Amino acid sequence: MLRGNLSFDIAHLLAGSLVLLSFMQLYQYRLYALLNVYALHALALAASVGWQAFIQGAPHLYVTAVIALVFKAIIIPTALHRIIVRLGIHREIETVVGVGPTMLLGMGLVALSMVVMLRVTAAADPLAREDLAFALAVVLLGLLMMVTRRNAVSQVVGFMSLENGLVLAATGAKGMPLVVEISVAFSVLIAFIVIGIFLFRIRERFDTVDIQALDRFRGERQ
Amino acid sequence: MIDGLMGVLIIPIVAATLFTLLPRYRLTARLNIVAAFLTFVTASSLFVVEPRSGPYLLVDDLNKVFIVLTTFVGFTTSVFSASYIGHEIENGRLTPASVRFYHAMYQVLMFAMNLALVANNIGLMWVAIEVATLTTVLMVGIYRTHEALEAAWKYFILGSVGIALALFGTILVYMAARPVIGEGIDAMVWSTLVKHASQFDPALLNVAFVFLLLGYGTKVGLAPLHAWLPDAHAEGPTPISAVLSGLLLNVALYALLRFKMLLALNPAAIAPGPLMVIMGLISCLFAAFMLYRRRDIKRMFAYSSIEHMGIIVFAFGMGGVLANFAGLLHMTMHSLTKSAIFFAVGHIAQVKGTQKIADMGGLTVTNPLLGWGLVLGVVAIAGLPPLGIFMSEFLVVSSTFAREPWLAIILALGILVALGGLFLRLNSIAFGAPRGPTAKAEASYVPMFLHLALVFIAGIYMPAPLVKGFENVARLLG
């Protein structure tokens, strides 16, 4: 029983740290710092998935953990670092909403996900319940990040942390098939986005990666 | 053993591989037609020989209708695409290399849509819809202009958020099924899920449906999640606008309908209908009013697609055999009509060298076939008798009127407002003094008039087997 409690506590800790790191992303002004926090986020995900693989005795989840570690925590942040240096936008992030309101909104979203998920999953086993609640919180915080930021790179970071929440949910759902396939599919998606930023040379085309500048090109306003 | 089910998946994927190897675009354009035609024939064979459903692939009355419609419009669009793309190369808007990529992507898209329709596994279906989204993103951005890249980026981000939410919903459905069915692949298989749906935890299913509605609803283009749709339609190549409007929106809708059936089987879960009715009504009304301020012809018809998807989702949300029947009919008619309109619009934009409505005029005089084709298409899409959409809209409104008169009045208002908006613009495009270049179009009229003829016939006479088939599906949808 002791071991059961311990494994629960560690899983809880790791999933909780994901939510905390999602919060930390919300108030990062600088793109560099944001990318570093994201790398930590992916690291926490890798640890969490690895721990789930261990306690569920599901070896295929280790693949997902390794993907999270290598691809999301190392390759993608490094690539994005390079891109923002190349584009010369490593200074500041503009936020649409200030940090204070964003944090308050974030807290509201976390509370919402706790209320919703804990209430509806009363019958499920406690670990899956808490994981799901945390995962929803991470997903909603990722969405919040995507709406409050204007910069294309930070929107992508928001999307990636949202996706980390989904992987957390998928691994928390015990015995769910296709988790590995889905995490691979998502990695492909993210790789596309990052390549998209770079290859399409959004900066060259639009002179900025500020999404607001893109609005100028809306077909109706010519 | 290859049956019809495998056929609709294998033909497109083989064709896509072949197209990446073949350098000559004229040949690939022809082969594209051949592959699309073969897929259509294979899909039609599903009505004759029904293959056995397995744990991954499934065929039933519901998806047969969708597959045949998808492969048919995929085939006619490939015919249109051949002449459209030829012209784009002459214009210099596309290079032979990007056309090669375009044809391969066209077949990958057909593959992904067919896979989403035949998947017997909610995870597989999700992956297929993601692939379909990615391929269309690539095709929307194919012109590499400011506008095309922005449209592709917007579509990409919103589409990704949509499919992410849909995945969360999918995971929740699995969570609901696991205690009943047990761990593993079985808890994600449609045919198993449907059998045990009544024992699932209703609260979990409710939350799951909200996520699925928001997620796949983004792909259907329901307001307020529609922002990607007009841009993607306006900036991509026109054959892709036709496929997006005519098919991809339907595929996302199909996913939504499957989950709706699941919820309907569980008596304790919320009724999914009202949520769909509300979103459908909002989309219909919103898009109808938005039609009035459009200056770009493809963008205008994109808003018209949102309006019609709103009507269709509304009909399925109302539920009952009659409303479901009307929804199915409307979906079919809308696919045929809207793709016909885009066929016309594609050639018109090529003749005029622009998509701005202000620079077009008097088309019925300068290019009679294209002009009258567009007029016919708009008359059909606006829902005037005796064409097919009039029938289906009449059915939707009248079946609603018997149950919820107020909702029917709001819906009818949306339809009328949209009619006004469409005719206002049609008047300046098709009639009046000719504006802009008046060169003859080297167009392929066959697909457009074939679609319009089908819509016309359906408005007057529906063959009994078709009615019976639709009735079966309508009953299945509950």
Q: ipTM score here? A: 0.85
- Residue of chain B nearest A180, judged by CA positions: B123
List beta partners, residue B121: B189
A221 within domain boundaries: no
More confident position, A92 or B42? B42
> What are the structure tokens assigned to A189, written together?
């998606």
pLDDT in tens, A14-55: 999 999 999 999 888 788 889 999 999 999 999 999 998 998
Orientation of helix B249-264 relative to helix B464-477, angle to 10°: 50
Please give, rounded to a whole number of angstroms, the shortest distance from the CA of A179 to a CA of chain B.
Answer: 9
Q: Say if the Cβ atoms of B164 and A116 lie within 8 Å.
A: no
Position A222 confidence tier, pLDDT thresholds 50, 70, 90:
very low
A105 within domain boundaries: yes
Supply the pLDDT for residue B409: 94
Domain coverage including residue A72: 2-215
Orientation of helix A2-26 relative to helix A126-148, angle to 10°: 10
Please give, rounded to a whole number of angstroms, the shortest distance from the CA of B267 to a CA of chain A.
Answer: 16
Q: Say if the Cβ atoms of A214 and B153 lie within 8 Å.
A: yes
Report the phi/psi class of residue B122: left, alpha or beta, with left for phi > 0 and alpha for psi in -120 to 50.
alpha
Q: Is the model's pLDDT at A119 over the cut of 90?
A: no
Q: Is the model's pLDDT at A12 over the cut of 90?
A: no
**Mutant choice from A121, A127, A168 vs B, greatest count of B C-beta within 10 A:** A121
- Residues 91-130, chain A, touching B (beta carbon < 8 A): 116-117, 119-124, 128
Position A93 confidence tier, pLDDT thresholds 50, 70, 90:
low
CA B314 – CA B287 distance, rounded (Å): 14
A23 within domain boundaries: yes
Q: Is the model's pLDDT at A216 over the cut of 60?
A: no
pLDDT-above-90 percentage for chain A: 27
What type of residue sits at position B435? R
Q: Give the Å distances, CA to CA, from B202 to A140, A170, B267, B318, B477.
A: 23, 20, 8, 21, 19
CA A74 – CA A66 distance, rounded (Å): 11
Report the phi/psi class of residue A207: left, alpha or beta, with left for phi > 0 and alpha for psi in -120 to 50.
left
A222 within domain boundaries: no
CA B474 – CA B478 distance, rounded (Å): 7
Q: Say if the Cβ atoms of B185 and A177 lie within 8 Å.
A: yes
Supply the pLDDT for residue B412: 94
Most confident segment among A142-156, A196-210, B78-92: B78-92
Q: Say if the Cβ atoms of B157 and A123 lie within 8 Å.
A: no
DSSP 8-class letter at B93: S
Supply the pLDDT for residue A192: 77
* Mean pLDDT of successive 10-residue stretches along chain B, which has 478 residues: 81 92 86 94 88 85 92 95 88 85 93 95 90 90 83 86 90 88 86 90 89 94 89 92 92 94 87 92 94 90 95 93 93 95 92 86 86 93 89 93 92 94 90 80 86 92 89 88
**Mutant choice from A136, A166, A187 vs B, greatest count of B C-beta within 10 A:** A166
Q: Give the Å distances, CA to CA, from B455 to A215, B12, B340.
A: 38, 27, 10
Kindly state whether B449 is in contact with chain A, defined as any CB-CB distance less than 8 angstroms.
Answer: no
Total domains present in chain A: 1
A136 within domain boundaries: yes
Kindly state whether A169 is in contact with chain B, defined as any CB-CB distance less than 8 angstroms.
Answer: yes
CB burial readout B222-241, b (16+ within 10 A) else e: bbebbebbbbbbbbbbbbbb
Compute the average pLDDT of residues A176-204.
72
Supply the pLDDT for residue A203: 47
Q: Give the Å distances, CA to CA, from B78 to A218, B176, B443.
A: 29, 42, 13
- Residues 41-80, chain A, touching B (beta carbon < 8 A): none
Q: Say if the Cβ atoms of A177 and B123 lie within 8 Å.
A: yes
Is residue A65 a contact partner of residue A184, using CB atoms and an 8 Å limit?
Answer: no
Is residue B234 a contact partner of residue B307, using CB atoms and an 8 Å limit?
Answer: no
DSSP 8-class letter at B186: G
Kindly state whether A213 is in contact with chain B, defined as any CB-CB distance less than 8 angstroms.
Answer: no
A220 within domain boundaries: no
Which residues in chain B are closer than 8 Å to A163, comparing Cβ atoms? 164
Alpha helices per DSSP H over B265-367? 272-290, 297-318, 321-352, 363-366
